[in-house]
Amino acid sequence: MFCGTWSADKEIVMKSPTKIDGSRRPGGPISGQDSAAGPRKMLDILHLERQVLGDMQLRDELLRLYAEQLMALGPLICGAPGQARSEAAHTLRGASLAIGALALAHVCGELEAQGNEAGEAGQGGEETRREAALVIEGTRRRVAELLRS
């Protein structure tokens, strides 16, 4: 586990904290469904299958590499200050978008922006880091399930 806990009976549904005009919505990012976009998926299997053109060996290789990135970057995302957290979040966001881990890509985008705003010493974003820990663990479990199947 990275830096948080995951309960199998919980379902994380992400809600974008940003309105279309760029202003922030009140409330926490795990507070329900975004009426405009709907819930973000832990892992969009259809997106992943399109990315690998149905090649299951390639899919599994990408998932293994992604799992390694989760293990390496998860602790930085949850515990590093400012710029280090922002850079780790940027890297994991790109990898998450590539394989269809949309919930994690979203939360990494939030952490990256918060890190850039806070500067090197910035520690802010505690709620987002807790959210990241849950989403990282949920995504890790989903990737492990796919690799076992």
CATH code, domain carrying 83: 1.20.120.160
How many domains are there within the chain?
1
Q: Note whether residue 133 is domain-resident.
A: yes
Q: Note whether residue 8 is domain-resident.
A: no
pLDDT in tens, 88-142: 999 999 999 999 999 999 999 999 888 777 655 455 678 888 999 999 999 999 9
> How big is the chain, counted in residues?
149
Q: Note whether residue 4 is domain-resident.
A: no
Q: Note whether residue 112 is domain-resident.
A: yes
Q: Note whether residue 94 is domain-resident.
A: yes
pLDDT in tens, 45-57: 999 999 999 999 9
Q: Note whether residue 93 is domain-resident.
A: yes
pTM: 0.71
